[in-house]
A and B are shown apart, each in its own frame.
Chain A
Amino acid sequence: MASVTMQVNGKSVSKDVEGRTLLVDFLRNDLRLTGTHVGCDTSQCGACVVHVNGQSVKACAMFAIEADGAEVATIEGQANADGSLNVIQQAFQDHHGLQCGFCTPGMVMTAAALLKENPKPSEAEVRSYLEGNICRCTGYHNIVKAIMAASGQDVAAIAAE
C-alpha cells in the first residue's frame, strides 16, 4: 500500500492504495464518485475519461499512484456552482446527445477537453476528437450536434437524422 494525495474536483483527498489500483477504481470505489464509468476496461471505449492536470485520460489505463499530486476533474465536478448543468451538459440535454447515458460522462469530459483546445471545432474535428469514445447506442449524430452547439455554433444546418 502507498499513500496518494490528489485534488479531485478541487477537493484534496488522501488515501492508501495498492499498486494495482486503477485511477477509475480509486474514484469509484474509494471516493464513491461513480459518475465515471467503466465500459470496456481495455481503454477503447472512453466511458472512463477524466481530466488529469487538465488533460483527458482514460482512467482505466492509469494507476491511481500515478495521479499522486495531480489535479483530477471528473463528471461530478462539471456542473455550475449553483448545481445547474454546465454549457456542455445542457447542450447534451437540449440536443438529445444521450440515449442510455452510459457513455455520457466520458463524452462530456472529452468534449470539455476538445473545446478547451479548440473552442470552435468543425464537425469533422469533433468527430475525429471523439475517436476514443464509443457510444453503443450509436447516438453519435446528436452528440456531435450537442458539442457543436456547446461551442456556440449554429447547429440548425446539421440535419436531425
Chain B
Amino acid sequence: MYAFDIERPSSIKDAVAALQSEGAQALGGGQTLIPTLKARLAAPEVLISLTGISEMQGVCLSDEGALCIGAGTTHATVAREAAVHFPGLAALASHIGDPAVRNRGTIGGSLANNDPAACYPAAALGTGATIITDKRKIAADDYFQGMFTTALDEGEIITEVRFPIPEKSHYMKFVQPASRFALVGVFVAKYADGVRVAVTGASEEGVFRWHDAETALADDFNARSLDGLSVAADGMIGDLHGSPEYRAHLVKVMTGRAVTAA
C-alpha cells in the first residue's frame, strides 16, 4: 500500500479539526475503505480513525423513544444491543458481511459510504431516520443523494443515527451469492401513521422509497396489497448478476416477503 499517516483522535472535536487538513479522510471500521485503498481507488494523505472516540459508541433509547446509535458502533454491537427495542434493525445488522466484518464495520461508515448495495441505507430511509453529524441533523429523505453520494460536506462526520422505532418491521435481502451484498434488499416499517418501504441494491440512483407500495400497505399491511403493483425496470441496475427486469421483479417479491415476515 502507498504511504499515508493515521491519526487516532479521542473526541469528535479533535476528529473534526484533524479532518480540516488537506487530503484527510475519515476512517470508520475500514471494511470498505481499506480494500479501496489497496486497490488505489482512493489515496488520502492522512486517515483520521474514528474508532477511538468513545462518545460515538453505543446504543440507547432517547426520551422520545427513538433508538440512538453512535456512528462508531459496530454491526455486531447493533445486532446484540438493538435486539430488544428494534428487532428488525438488529436482524439487518446481524446479516451484514460476515462475523469478522461485523466486528469492525460501523453504521456511520456504511451510511457515509452509501454503497448502492449496502443494507443500512435501506433501514435509515425505511424508518425516516435522522443522521446526526458534527454540525447538523439531516433527515434520511434528504441524506441519500445517489450511488456513493450523500448530503455530507467535505470533512463532516456522522456522529449518531436516530431511528424512530416502528410497530413492525423487517428487512428482506436477496444476496448476491459471491459478494453477499444485497442484489435487492427491502426494508419495510409499519408505524401508527403509515408505512415506509426502502429498497437497496436495485437502483442506479442508490437506495430509494417505493411510494406506491407504501400507500397500498398503509391501507392494508398485507403482501396481497402489492398484487396490482409493479416496479419499472427503467433505472434499475443491470449487470452479470441480474438484468434490470430481474431486479425490478425482485423488489416486489422481497417487499411482499418482508411484509409477511414483519
Q: Which A positions have Cβ atoms within 8 angstroms of B?
A: 2, 18-20, 22, 41-43, 46, 49, 52, 55-58, 60-63, 65-66, 68, 110, 113-114, 129, 131-133
**Nearest CB on B from A3, distance (A):** 12
Chain B residues with Cβ under 8 A from A68's Cβ? 8
Q: Are B34 and A62 in contact (CB under 8 A)?
A: yes
Chain A residues with Cβ under 8 A from B180's Cβ? 131
Chain A residues with Cβ under 8 A from B2's Cβ? 20
Given A42-B38, A65-B8, the answer on whether A19 and B98 have CB atoms closer than 8 Å is no
How far is A132 from B51 in the complex, measured between Cα atoms in Å? Answer: 22
What 1/0 flags go to B31-60 for Cβ under 8 Å of A?
100110010000000110101000000000
How far is A23 from B44 in the complex, measured between Cα atoms in Å? Answer: 19
**Nearest CB on B from A55, distance (A):** 4
| Further 4 A-B residue pairs, CB within 8 A, beyond A56-B100, A68-B8 | A63-B47, A110-B100, A131-B99, A132-B98
Cβ 8 A contact of B100, one of A46, A65, A66: A46
B104 interface contact, C-beta 8 A: yes
**Nearest CB on A from B184, distance (A):** 19
Q: Are B6 and A19 in contact (CB under 8 A)?
A: yes
**Nearest CB on B from A60, distance (A):** 8
Q: Are A131 and B98 in contact (CB under 8 A)?
A: yes
Given A20-B1, A131-B180, the answer on whether A65 and B6 have CB atoms closer than 8 Å is yes
Given A19-B47, A43-B35, the answer on whether A55 and B103 have CB atoms closer than 8 Å is yes
Chain A residues with Cβ under 8 A from B31's Cβ? 43, 61
Q: Are B6 and A57 in contact (CB under 8 A)?
A: no
> By DSSP majority rule, is chain A's interface helix, strand, loop, or mixed?
mixed
Cβ 8 A contact of B97, one of A2, A129, A132, A133: A132
Specify the chain B residue showing the minimal Cβ separation from A58: B100
How far is A66 from B103 in the complex, measured between Cα atoms in Å? Answer: 13
Cβ 8 A contact of B4, one of A20, A46, A113: A20
Q: Are A57 and B100 in contact (CB under 8 A)?
A: yes
Cβ 8 A contact of B99, one of A2, A18, A52, A110: A110
Chain B residues with Cβ under 8 A from A110's Cβ? 99-100
How far is A3 from B249 in the complex, measured between Cα atoms in Å? Answer: 54
What 1/0 flags go to B115-144 for Cβ under 8 Å of A?
000000000000000000000000000000
Q: Are A58 and B35 in contact (CB under 8 A)?
A: no
Chain A residues with Cβ under 8 A from B38's Cβ? 41-42
B3 interface contact, C-beta 8 A: yes
How far is A155 from B114 in the complex, measured between Cα atoms in Å? Answer: 43
Given A20-B1, A20-B4, A66-B8, the answer on whether A61 and B99 have CB atoms closer than 8 Å is no
Q: Are B99 and A132 in contact (CB under 8 A)?
A: yes
- The contact sample of 24 A-B pairs, CB cut-off 8 A, is A18-B3, A19-B6, A20-B4, A43-B31, A49-B100, A55-B76, A56-B103, A57-B104, A58-B100, A61-B30, A61-B31, A61-B35, A63-B30, A63-B34, A63-B49, A65-B6, A65-B8, A65-B49, A68-B8, A110-B100, A131-B99, A132-B97, A132-B98, A133-B98
How far is A114 from B1 in the complex, measured between Cα atoms in Å? Answer: 32
Q: Are B5 and A19 in contact (CB under 8 A)?
A: yes
